[in-house]
Homo-oligomer: A and B are copies of this chain.
Amino acid sequence: MKLAIDAMGGDNAPEEIVKGSVQAAERYPDLELALVGDEPRIKQLLGSGSSRNIEIVHTTEIISADDEPVRAVRRKKDASMTVAARMVKEGLADGFVSAGNTGALMAAGLLIIGRIEGIERPALASVWPTFDGRGVLVLDVGANMDAEPLHLLQYAAMGNLYARYVLSVDKPRVGLLNVGTEPGKGNALAKAAYPMLEGKDFHFVGNVESREILNGVCDVVVCDGFVGNVMLKLIEGVGLGMFDALKEVFMAGTVSKLAALALKPGLKQFKKKFDYAEYGGAPLLGVNGVCIKAHGSSKARAFEMAIHQGRQFLHHGVLDQIRMGAKGDESR
């Protein structure tokens, strides 16, 4: 099992990326990692204690957060992300992990690695913290803006496999995002998708409302990439805004500062519940290779978790199962 690592992508690259990779390499001796990026810098970060299951692939370019994704992937042939994706395409790696530009990762997955035969559109799937601590997998969160009913069915099938084998959920409950729980609710897309999701070989629990998603009513939620992306960013915005507003309350005076101090351990626990680092990266499902997006601000621990997800993905042969499922769709 070999994963190509985009060592130059993300806010804390390459330091934290290399550190997280070393941690993962130590934890999983069966895993080989190819750190793709600026060799002298990576070598320096690895120091003398480099692991036997880490190699370096030298590249000279970087795709930044501001780069226009498709153009960057097409033009920057020697960027760390482009090279990592090409290694997957050429069979030199089984998958790649990057904390870099999300749009570029999706473009690299689609344009360089390509889709699994029979999968109409890849979907970016993201694990969100829930108040019960289990987490929920939501897809698509932005790969495909205008989804059709068949796309949602394929998201559901792929999300089910990912939740089962990578997130170790026994019998994932798959829900359709909607504005009400009754069948027949929603926009044209949701109305058409609902009957297609029934009676398939995953556990469809019907419509779920956004209000309930974070309460653990299901393990997998499918929606189009526009809505998924809007929800993802809204939760981020509400969460951050509330933390800031709370901080103001705590910092208002001496008494409240002391009080906040007393609450610190509990609040830390509280914040940890919503820490993306505990939940790892977002897989781009439906491309012909493992492709994991780690959060842009990933530190070593978060990046290690993203690599862990990539390993689980490979270990359980999830790709082959998606391929088989997609063939089933075609022969129907």
A: residues with CB less than 8 A from B are 131, 142, 145-146, 177, 179, 186-188, 190, 209-215, 224-227, 229-231, 233-239, 241-242, 244-246, 248-250, 252, 255-256, 258-260, 262-263, 266-267, 269-270, 273
Q: Across the interface, do A210 and B226 meet the contact criterion of CB distance under 8 Å?
A: no
If A249-B266, A249-B269, A270-B245 touch, whether A211 touches B187 (CB-CB below 8 Å) is no
Contact of A262 among B225, B236, B256, B266 (CB under 8 A): B256
Contact of A259 among B215, B242, B260 (CB under 8 A): B260
Q: Across the interface, do A215 and B239 meet the contact criterion of CB distance under 8 Å?
A: no
A231 closest partner in B (C-beta): B234
A210 closest partner in B (C-beta): B234
Contacts of A267 in B (CB 8 A): 249
Identical subunits present: 2
Q: Across the interface, do B230 and A179 meet the contact criterion of CB distance under 8 Å?
A: yes
Contacts of A131 in B (CB 8 A): 241, 244-245
Q: Across the interface, do B187 and A224 meet the contact criterion of CB distance under 8 Å?
A: yes
Q: Across the interface, do B214 and A179 meet the contact criterion of CB distance under 8 Å?
A: no
**Nearest CB of chain B from residue A153's CB, rounded to whole Å:** 19
Contacts of A146 in B (CB 8 A): 187-188
Q: Across the interface, do A142 and B179 meet the contact criterion of CB distance under 8 Å?
A: yes
Q: Across the interface, do B179 and A226 meet the contact criterion of CB distance under 8 Å?
A: yes
CA distance A127 to B214 in the complex (A): 23
Q: Across the interface, do A209 and B224 meet the contact criterion of CB distance under 8 Å?
A: no
CA distance A145 to B266 in the complex (A): 42
If A187-B226, A226-B227, A256-B263 touch, whether A233 touches B249 (CB-CB below 8 Å) is no
A182 closest partner in B (C-beta): B68
Contact of A209 among B210, B233, B244, B269 (CB under 8 A): B233
CA distance A242 to B210 in the complex (A): 15
Contacts of A237 in B (CB 8 A): 210-215
CA distance A120 to B230 in the complex (A): 25
CA distance A115 to B236 in the complex (A): 37
Contacts of A211 in B (CB 8 A): 233-234, 236-237
**Nearest CB of chain B from residue A244's CB, rounded to whole Å:** 7
Instruction: List 8 extra interface pairs beyond A187-B224, A263-B263, CB under 8 A.
Output: A142-B179, A145-B179, A146-B187, A214-B241, A230-B231, A234-B234, A252-B266, A259-B262
